[in-house]
Amino acid sequence: MTRRLRALSVGFFGLMLSLGSGAALEAQELGSFAGTIVDDLSGLPLAMAVVPLPELRVEALTNEAGQFLLEGLPMGSQEVKFEALGYVDVVEQLEIAASDFLQVRLDPMAAVLDHILVIAGRSPSDRPWQSALDLLEDQVPGVTVRRGGGLANGAAIVIRGVNSFRSDGAPMVLVDGVRIDSQQTGIKSIHALDMISAEVVSRIRVIKGAAGVSGYSSGYSNGANGVILIETIHGLGAGN
């Protein structure tokens, strides 16, 4: 899922807007944001998608063009949800400004099931990949690997639709249940994955965002930027 922000000038389109009765909007400065919600695979607009702000008890519905508008909001940080029937919900903490435009791409629920990749069963000779990082880059939909030169800055793993609001956020990576990142290993997870042989990888799973992580154990509770779970046939370090 990719969301892009840019400034919105004036006036927008007719929408269905419902306001809850219990919210107290006492801020002196009010903001608004508008945007479109589309299917991530087809790019088609999603009508009747819901955009609620739970803390304010305010929500908007998209029209046939997938457009929504929320006005008269207190400026500042607010939790915003994006929901559509048959699609994976997205929950984001947004900074409400005077006027913003947002494009949201939601993953169909059926497509998310395809993010579970099972590679076991192939013989080593059938695998053109050298490392777990190669597999992640070439075989897992929705994941982008930005490679730097050696250990140079700029290398990163990005889960589509998760990192766009927080460009510095990186997904949590666990290999056989063990978290690998700079805090525990002294190097970036992207470089650790490059040292794990593709031949020992049996499965890769991608969990998008805090909403998806909440359905798993509390050990993943801080994976707001998404979680990448890699399982090997021998255990962590067997392919090094």
For the stretch 66-124, pLDDT in tens is 999 999 899 888 889 898 887 878 888 888 887 788 889 888 876 554 443 443 344 44
- Which amino acid is it at 111? A
At 83 the pLDDT is 87
For the stretch 168-205, pLDDT in tens is 457 778 787 777 764 444 446 777 788 888 888 887 77
Residue 65 contacts residue 36 (beta carbons within 8 Å): yes
Three-point CA angle 238, 135, 113, nearest 5°? 110
- Those residues whose C-beta lies under 8 Å from the C-beta of residue 36, and which sit 6 or more positions away, are 45, 62, 65, 66, 67, 68, 102, 103, 104
User: pTM higher than 0.75, yes or no?
Assistant: no
- Count Cβ atoms below 10 Å from residue 130 Cβ, excluding itself: 13
| pLDDT > 70? residue 7 | no
Which residues of 64-212 form beta strands (DSSP E)?
67-74, 76-82, 90-96, 100-106, 117-118, 143-146, 156-159, 172-175, 178-179, 201-207
- Write down the residue that tokens 């460009």 correspond to: 167
- Residue span(s) of the chain under CATH 2.60.40.1120 come to 4-108
**36: pLDDT confidence band, cut at 50, 70 and 90?**
very high
> What CATH superfamily is the domain 115-232?
TonB-dependent receptor, plug domain (2.170.130.10)
At 119 the pLDDT is 39
- Residue span(s) of the chain under CATH 2.170.130.10 come to 115-232
Residue 51 contacts residue 36 (beta carbons within 8 Å): no
Query: Cα separation of 38 and 67, whole Å?
Result: 9
CATH architecture, domain defined by 4-108: Sandwich (2.60)
